[in-house]
Chain A
Amino acid sequence: MEGLAWLAAAIAIAFLVLIVWSVARKGASELNLDLLTKGPAVTFLSTAKVGLANAFAGTIVIVGLAIAMALPVGILVAVYLNEFAPASIRNGVSLALDVLNGVPAIVIGIFVYGLFVLGHGQSGLAGSFALACLMLPLVARSTMEVLALVPNSLREAGLGLGIPQWRTTLSIVLPQTIGGIVTGTVLAVARVAGETAPLLFTSSIVGTQTSWNPRHALQSIPVAIFELSESPDPADHARAWAAALVLILFILFASLGGRWLATRSRTRMLSR
């Protein structure tokens, strides 16, 4: 029976190696500076050197704005639930966050389309909002976890010194959690940086020019990979692999960094 476990592990590892190896090999061969500096082909029969500059710029803007939207709200929600809310409200809002976490990304996409795009046009902002909806439960939950780890002795100490609750929360409790908040955000970014479905209907009607303006629809790396994967041109496929490699490296870096930060801040907090 133990042999079966070894066999299962071997098969699984073989598949993992296969995928990682495919992406690494195919991606590395096409990885060059053109990918980041040149835009996609403009005309149909063009043979110019091309890249995905518009997608890289767009992803930076969209993910950046998603963080700006999700981070403050996520922290505030966690603060409210952990510091102020009675148990019933805490359970209710936690449930709502769990429900939000369970909504498939494609449904978030059509929701944001109906809310912001219809009648107004696609935009990077709409795409960011969709990504922020996906990030919110993750940021809120990880902030709540770190807030719960802050010992009550700190809060009581503040009370004992006559410091108002709001000051205690903001200047004593929250600073302890910065590490955990950063971790949670980094992990949430790792989760949404590769999401295609929320952007498919909110920020996909784009041109070939590189734009940093979030009021326009912006190309993004996952959507670019999606479109290139369905092209008949092998050169497009090669670009898709290269972009995929960059994306995976970024996400890997972010999630490993996030995990490392998490372990570091947790040990620091628990050792007090």
Chain B
Amino acid sequence: MPKLGHPIRTLAVLAAVAAAFAAVAVGAGAAPARHAGDTISGAGSTFVSPLVSTWIPAVGSAFGYSLQYSAIGSSGGINAITGRTVDFGASDAPLTPDQFTACNGCEQIPWALGATSIMYNLPGVKNLLHMDGPTLAQIFLGKITTWNDPAIAKLNPGVSLPSTNITIAHRSDGSGTTFNLTDYLSSVSPAWASQIGKGTSVNWPVGVGGRGSSGVSAIVGQTTGAIGYADVAFALKNHFSYFAMKNNSGKFTTPGSRGILAAASSDQKPASDNSLSIVNPPAKYPNAYPISTFTYVIVPLQTSKAADLKRFLFWAVTKGQAGTYTAALRFVPLPKSVLVVAEKAIAQIHS
């Protein structure tokens, strides 16, 4: 015998259930009242993410609001701040004029200085391997495919190189680290410049794609004979070897503070859009590591979170550059001339 439910009771049950859901939604939405100073959220460059991650607990205790950063790649960061889905973006690649227009009232501010390491996985070889620009370009072009290729052997006399195949690990997402590397390869290899060019995302002729510097690191770690590229902090964390790159004065340098600082002295004056280019410095900087780069935070000039944002950014470019944060990750404190420009730019943020 089917039950004839009391209509009011059924309606009451349905209404109660709906009300419960609505209450959860509204309550969860309203419960921690969302003050403007509660969270500063940013997204972008995986290159700078190791450094920003060390800032998070410090900012939390210094200012009482929480800093949140999501490493989705420089292009992702540019798109996120353009769409105002975050409070700040981070990119190692300077904005193009079109991107500035699309961002509608943003400025970019250099806030960290580091280097891209060319890391590899070759368990049998313990020596620090040497590499130069043109040979690296040939490798990334897919023209050199094995480790014991004569070009590599010539740079490393006396080292016995295996015949392992070289697997290139590159970024599949839009990346400022890719921009840094391709900028370098374009300046040392006319073949690369004409065939591929430079950008946050390029038409890689060979290789396996990984998402983020983590993804590239994962491929390098899991593939014998792989060569990849990422901020040197990733190489350190995962205990990867990296090449000593030959700079324009003929020296082989590694991505450490000396090499980065020397490279930074090759461009001391930010351009009108605050960008700097220190890739492949000329020979008069003998200690320079040729694949170094500044990295930028991208902020809207007008934002409701101006006060908190400015406080954070002033801290980041001054206290945040201290050794406690930068040394272990091989970032180098901003040079004075760049710091001055950065602070002036931060001061322009208003609500």
Q: Do chains A and B touch in the complex (CB under 8 A)?
A: yes
- Which A residues are closer than 8 A to B by beta carbons? 42-45, 61, 64-65, 67-68, 72, 117-122, 125, 154, 167, 170-172, 174-176, 204-209, 212-216, 227, 230-233, 272
Closest Cβ neighbor of A219 among chain B residues: B70
Indicate whether A45 sits within 8 Å of B41 (C-beta atoms), given known contacts A205-B80, A205-B85, A230-B212.
no
Query: Does B83 lie within 8 Å of A171, measured CB to CB?
Result: no
Cα A185 to Cα B2 in complex, Å, equals 23
B34 near A215: Cβ-Cβ < 8 Å: yes
Chain B contacts to A: CB under 8 angstroms: 2-7, 9-11, 14, 18, 21-22, 24-25, 28-29, 31-32, 34, 39, 41, 43, 49-51, 53-54, 56-57, 66-70, 72, 80, 83-86, 210-212, 214-215, 217-218, 220-222, 233-234, 237-238, 328-329
Nearest first, the 5 closest Cβ-Cβ pairs linking A and B are A207-B68, A44-B50, A171-B7, A68-B21, A232-B217
A-B pairs under 8 A by CB, number: 124
Once bound together, how far apart are the Cα atoms of A154 and B211, in whole Å? 58
| Interface pair B217/A207, CB less than 8 Å apart | no
Residues of B within 8 A of A214 (CB): 25, 28-29
Asked if B80 and A45 make an inter-chain contact with CB atoms under 8 angstroms apart, the answer reads: no
Asked if A207 contacts B28 (CB within 8 A), the reply is no
Docked pose: A217 CA to B211 CA in angstroms: 20
B25:A68 contact, CB within 8 angstroms? yes
When the two chains form their complex, are residues A205 and B237 in contact, meaning their CB atoms are under 8 A apart? no
Looking at the assembled complex, report how far the CB atom of A121 sits from the nearest CB atom of chain B, in whole angstroms: 4
C-alpha spacing A213/B39, complex, angstroms: 13
Chain A hits for B2, CB < 8 A: 154, 172, 176, 272
Q: A154-B2, A171-B6 are in contact. Are A209 and B70 (CB under 8 A)?
A: no
**Contact across chains for B83 and A118 when beta carbons are under 8 A apart:** yes
Q: Whole-angstrom distance between the alpha carbons of A208 and B26 in the complex?
A: 23
Overall SS of chain B's interface:
helix
Minimum CB–CB distance from B228 to chain A (whole Å) comes to 10
Contact A42 B6 (CB under 8 A): no
Is B41's CB under 8 angstroms from A118's CB? no
A184 to chain B, nearest CB (A): 16
The distance in angstroms between the C-alpha atoms of A209 and B41, with both chains bound, is 12
Contact yes or no, B85 A121, CB < 8 A: yes
Contact of A43 (CB < 8 Å), options: B29, B54, B238: B54
- 4 further A-B pairs in the complex, CB-CB below 8 A; given A120-B85, A204-B70: A175-B10, A230-B214, A230-B215, A230-B218
The residues of A that contact B34 with a CB separation of less than 8 Å are: 213, 215
- Which of A65, A171, A227 has a CB less than 8 Å from the CB of B4? A171
**Given known contacts A44-B50, A207-B68, A231-B218, A121 and B28 CB-to-CB distance under 8 angstroms:** no
Question: Contact check: which of B29, B54, B70, B80 meets A215 at CB < 8 Å?
Answer: B29
B299 CB to closest chain A CB (Å) equals 15
CB neighbours (8 Å) of A208 from chain B are: 56, 68
Nearest CB of A to B56, in Å:
6
CA distance A248 to B71 in the complex (A): 27
Q: Provide the residues of chain B in CB contact with A121, threshold 8 Å.
A: 84-86
Complex-state Cα separation, A182 to B5, whole angstroms = 18
Contact B57 A42 (CB under 8 A): yes
Chain A contacts for B83, CB-based, 8 A:
117-119
What chain A residues lie within 8 Å of B32 (beta carbons)?
213
Which residues of B lie under 8 Å from residue A231 when comparing CB positions?
Answer: 214, 217-218
Report chain A residues within 8 Å CB of B86.
Answer: 121, 205
Is the CB–CB distance between B84 and A119 below 8 Å? Answer: yes
Residue on B with the closest CB to A122? Answer: B85
Question: What are 12 A-B contacts with C-beta separation under 8 Å?
Answer: A44-B49, A118-B85, A119-B84, A171-B4, A171-B11, A172-B5, A207-B41, A209-B68, A213-B28, A230-B211, A231-B217, A232-B218
Q: How far is the CA of A118 from the CA of B102 in the complex (A)?
A: 13
Query: Are B214 and A43 closer than 8 Å at their CB atoms?
Result: no
- Chain B's nearest CB lies how many Å from the CB of A85? 21
Question: Which residues from chain A contact B39 at a C-beta distance below 8 Å?
Answer: 207, 216
Q: Which residues of B contact A205 (CB under 8 A)?
A: 41, 43, 70, 72, 80, 85-86
Given known contacts A43-B56, A43-B57, A175-B10, A207 and B25 CB-to-CB distance under 8 angstroms? no
Least CB distance, A223 to chain B, in whole angstroms = 11
Q: What chain A residues lie within 8 Å of B72 (beta carbons)?
A: 204-205
Q: When the two chains form the complex, which single residue of A42, A43, A44, A175 contacts B5, counting CB atoms closer than 8 Å?
A: A175
Query: What chain B residues lie within 8 Å of A64 (beta carbons)?
Result: 24
Which residues of chain A come closer than 8 Å to B218, judged between CB atoms? 230-232
CA distance A179 to B3 in the complex (A): 14
Q: How far is the CB of A126 from chain B (nearest CB, A)?
A: 10
With contacts A44-B54, A121-B86, A230-B218 taken as known, whether A206 is within 8 angstroms of B211 at the C-beta atoms is no
A207 near B214: Cβ-Cβ < 8 Å: no
